[in-house]
Chain A
Amino acid sequence: MTSPITTASKGSKILGMTSIIGFVVLVLLAFFVTDPDIRFHPETGEEFGQFDAVRLLYLHVPMAIVTYLAFVICAIASAGYLVRRTFWWDSMAHAAGEVGTLTCALVLITGSIWGRPVWNTWWEWGDVRLMSTLILFLLFLGYLALRGAFVNPQRAARPAAIVALIAVLDIPLINRSVEWWENRTLHQKSTLSELKIEDLTLFTLMLGILVSVLVMSWLILHRFRVAWLEHIEFEQGVKTAIEERRQVGHGD
Chain B
Amino acid sequence: MSVVKLDGLVALLEGFPALTGVDLTVNAGEILFVKGPNGAGKTTLLHLCAGLIQPKDGTGLILGHDLSSERTAIRKRVGLLSHSSGLYRDLTVLENITFWTQIAGVEQSEIDSRISWALERMELDSKLQNQKVRSLSAGQIRRTSLAVFIVRRPDLWLMDEPHAGLDQEGRQIVDDLIEESVAAGATAIVASHDFERVLKLSTRVVTLSGGAVVGVEHEGNQ
A252 and B10: CB pair below 8 A? no
Which one of B15, B210, B212 contacts A238 once the chains associate, using CB atoms below 8 Å?
B15
Judge whether A6 is part of the interface by a CB distance below 8 angstroms.
no
A242 and B21: CB pair below 8 A? yes
A-B interface contact total, Cβ < 8 Å: 47
B210 and A252: CB pair below 8 A? yes
Which one of B15, B20, B21, B209 contacts A252 once the chains associate, using CB atoms below 8 Å?
B209
Candidate in A155, A242, A246, A247 with the most chain B CB atoms within 10 angstroms? A242
Which one of B14, B15, B20, B37 contacts A246 once the chains associate, using CB atoms below 8 Å?
B20
With A246-B212, A250-B210 in contact, do A155 and B17 touch (Cβ < 8 Å)?
A: no
Which one of A234, A237, A252 contacts B214 once the chains associate, using CB atoms below 8 Å?
A252
B-contact bits for A222-239, CB 8 A (1 contact / 0 none) = 000000000000100110
Judge whether B211 is part of the interface by a CB distance below 8 angstroms.
yes
Which one of A238, A246, A248, A251 contacts B12 once the chains associate, using CB atoms below 8 Å?
A238
B14 and A245: CB pair below 8 A? no
B214 and A152: CB pair below 8 A? no
Candidate in A237, A241, A245, A250 with the most chain B CB atoms within 10 angstroms? A245
CB distance from B89 to the nearest CB of A (A): 27
Which one of A241, A246, A252 contacts B16 once the chains associate, using CB atoms below 8 Å?
A241
Number of residues on chain B facing chain A (CB within 8 A): 16
Which one of A151, A242, A250 contacts B17 once the chains associate, using CB atoms below 8 Å?
A242
CB distance from B127 to the nearest CB of A (A): 45
Residues on the A chain within 8 Å of B40, using CB: 249
Report the separation of the CA atoms of residues A245 and B37 in the bound assembly, to the nearest whole angstrom: 13
- Interface residues of B: mostly helix, strand, loop or mixed? strand
Which one of A155, A234, A246 contacts B210 once the chains associate, using CB atoms below 8 Å?
A246
Report the separation of the CA atoms of residues A247 and B21 in the bound assembly, to the nearest whole angstrom: 12
CB distance from A161 to the nearest CB of B (A): 16
Residues on the B chain within 8 Å of A151, using CB: 14-15
B17 and A238: CB pair below 8 A? yes
CB distance from A243 to the nearest CB of B (A): 8
CB distance from B109 to the nearest CB of A (A): 40
- Interface residues of A: mostly helix, strand, loop or mixed? helix
The size bracket of the interface on A is: 10 to 19
A-B complex: 7 closest residue pairs judged by Cβ atoms? A249-B210, A249-B209, A248-B210, A151-B14, A242-B17, A242-B20, A252-B209
CB distance from B193 to the nearest CB of A (A): 16
CB-nearest residue of chain A relative to B57?
A: A242
Chain B residues with CB under 8 Å of chain A are 10, 12, 14-17, 20-21, 37, 40, 56, 209-212, 214
B-contact bits for A153-166, CB 8 A (1 contact / 0 none) = 00100000000000
B211 and A152: CB pair below 8 A? no
CB distance from A145 to the nearest CB of B (A): 18
CB-nearest residue of chain A relative to B56?
A: A238
A237 and B210: CB pair below 8 A? no
With A152-B12, A238-B12, A242-B10 in contact, do A249 and B17 touch (Cβ < 8 Å)?
A: no
Q: List 15 A-B contacts (CB under 8 A).
A: A151-B15, A234-B15, A237-B15, A238-B12, A241-B16, A241-B17, A242-B21, A245-B17, A246-B20, A248-B210, A249-B210, A249-B211, A249-B214, A250-B209, A252-B214
Report the separation of the CA atoms of residues A237 and B12 in the bound assembly, to the nearest whole angstrom: 12
Report the separation of the CA atoms of residues A247 and B212 in the bound assembly, to the nearest whole angstrom: 10
CB-nearest residue of chain B relative to A237?
A: B15
16 extra interchain contacts, Cβ-Cβ under 8 A, other than A151-B15, A234-B15, A251-B210? A151-B14, A152-B14, A152-B15, A237-B15, A238-B12, A242-B10, A246-B20, A246-B210, A246-B211, A246-B212, A247-B210, A248-B210, A249-B211, A249-B214, A252-B37, A252-B214
CB-nearest residue of chain A relative to B215?
A: A252
Report the separation of the CA atoms of residues A152 and B14 in the bound assembly, to the nearest whole angstrom: 5
CB distance from A233 to the nearest CB of B (A): 11
CB distance from B10 to the nearest CB of A (A): 6
Report the separation of the CA atoms of residues A238 and B56 in the bound assembly, to the nearest whole angstrom: 10
B-contact bits for A178-194, CB 8 A (1 contact / 0 none) = 00000000000000000
Report the separation of the CA atoms of residues A234 and B17 in the bound assembly, to the nearest whole angstrom: 12
Report the separation of the CA atoms of residues A134 and B16 in the bound assembly, to the nearest whole angstrom: 38
Report the separation of the CA atoms of residues A250 and B17 in the bound assembly, to the nearest whole angstrom: 16
Report the separation of the CA atoms of residues A151 and B13 in the bound assembly, to the nearest whole angstrom: 10
